Amino acid sequence: MSDSQLAGAVELQFNRHETFAPRFGWLHKAYIQVKEVPEIFYQEDAPVRLGVGKNMVNAMRYWSRAFKLTKEYAHSDPSARALLAAPTWRARWLLDEDGADPYLEDTGSLWLLHWWLLSSEPEAKCLAPSWYIMFNLAPRSRASTEEMESVITRFVHENFAEKDCPAAESIKRDVDCMIKMYAQGQELNPLSPGSFEDLLMSPFRELSLIEGQGKGRERTWRFTSGARSNLPAAVLVYACLDYASRLSLHAGSISLARLASESGSPGRTFRMREPELTKAIEGLVGAHPGLQIVEALGQRSLAYLEPPQKLAWDVLDEYYGRIRSRDGFPTPEDWLRKYPGLTGAAPKKRRKTAPRQAEEFELSEEKVGS
């Protein structure tokens, strides 16, 4: 996916997180409630049922959608303004009490969620455009918060109509939230509500994707790159095959260079270059009968002998103990029959506020091994 296709990869949703990064337990709580109460996020007792403050309810709603764990649909009563929500099959697979990892105890689950958050799928675009831009279109870079805001603003203005662009403050809050979500070496801000809790409660800091450097006004943020020792090979192979399935639904192959460098690819999302990505998947691929690494004309490729989406889930499910083989576990088709709201198109709303154009800023490339 080229940079010019940003509009096809994301939906323009900014600052829907209410400044709160996803916290331990939120996704599991939201799944458990949505499974039984599709209007939970609009109910007056939602803070009590979810065990969070009112603004956090809105944040939980957003993050559940952004991670593609819930999908919203219109109420059957046309006079009802509130949207209903249904849990997706992947949420059932991961977060149910008998699912793969309901409490996200395996760091691989955080990497998996990070992939789902940034991925753009045929029926589910990325709902975190600021995240998509910084990880995919401005890779391996170092910048201050102001420079990150400028880069996001530039990409949005270059790819969307002025009337659809967000206010500058919304992008600023996205950048602040992204740092709270991922960054190591954060400084406590006593004037920011929830700042101390954010430092303690964001599980995604375990991924070490962003590092703070310097202090005060000189502080910058570096998007790290290199080998990922806590990224399971199965999750990485799943991401590679999942990405390949966007290009073809049938058996075939995809070059490792594309998997490492294209916008929206695993290499961009996980910040791994081709040598590191190749080394990380070689062992699993070599032991799997449906996968091979082949070389032709000096180019190495990942070959898959079955449809890539099928193989992706086979590899992932095997890593987590064959969840789909357990008694009574629903197939995706069973799940759609139980939650028919998942089959409809998600309602869309437009934002009317347009900010002024920010000046361009080019980010410097970071070297591998940091």
Write the pLDDT tens digit of every residue in 173-231: 999 999 999 998 766 665 555 555 655 679 999 999 999 988 877 889 999 999 999 99
Looking at per-residue pLDDT, the higher value among 3 and 274 belongs to: 274
Q: Please tell me the distance from the alpha carbon of residue 171 to that of residue 191, in angstroms, as a whole number.
A: 19
**What is the enclosing helix (H) or strand (E) of 12?**
none
Q: Which pLDDT tens digit goes with each residue over 254-301? A: 999 999 999 999 999 999 999 999 999 999 999 999 999 999 888 999
| pLDDT at position 351 | 42
- List, in sequence order, every residue forming a beta bridge with 71; answer none if it has no partner: 86
Q: Which residue has the tokens 């916290």?
A: 23
- Average pLDDT over the chain reads 88
Q: What is the pTM of this model?
A: 0.89
Range from 50-59, 107-116, 252-261 carrying the lowest mean pLDDT: 50-59
Q: Nearest-CA neighbor of 32 among 58, 80, 69?
A: 69
- List, in sequence order, every residue forming a beta bridge with 211; answer none if it has no partner: 184, 222
Structure tokens at 158: 């270059």
Range from 14-18, 34-38, 164-168, 217-221 carrying the lowest mean pLDDT: 217-221
What does each C-alpha distance from 302 to 225, 247, 294 come to in angstroms?
A: 22, 13, 7
At 307 the three-state DSSP class reads: coil
User: What DSSP designation does 299 have?
Assistant: E
- Give yes or no for residue 234 having a pLDDT over 60: yes
Structure tokens at 303: 């070959």
**What is the enclosing helix (H) or strand (E) of 147?**
helix 145-159
CA 322 to chain centre: 23
Q: Please tell me the distance from the alpha carbon of residue 108 to that of residue 111, in angstroms, as a whole number.
A: 5
| pLDDT at position 365 | 44
| pLDDT at position 196 | 53
Q: Which pLDDT tens digit goes with each residue over 293-350? A: 999 888 999 999 999 999 999 999 999 999 999 999 999 999 999 999 998 755 554 4
**In this structure, are residues 143 and 221 in contact, taking their beta carbons and an 8 Å threshold?**
yes
Looking at per-residue pLDDT, the higher value among 56 and 140 belongs to: 56
Mean pLDDT for 16-45 is 94
**In this structure, are residues 257 and 274 in contact, taking their beta carbons and an 8 Å threshold?**
yes
At 45 the three-state DSSP class reads: coil
Q: Please tell me the distance from the alpha carbon of residue 213 to that of residue 185, in angstroms, as a whole number.
A: 8
N-terminal to C-terminal alpha carbon distance within the chain: 27
What count of other Cβ atoms lies within 10 Å of the Cβ of residue 194? 18
Looking at per-residue pLDDT, the higher value among 183 and 82 belongs to: 183
Residue 296 Rama label (left phi>0; alpha psi -120 to 50; beta): beta
Structure tokens at 68: 């593609």
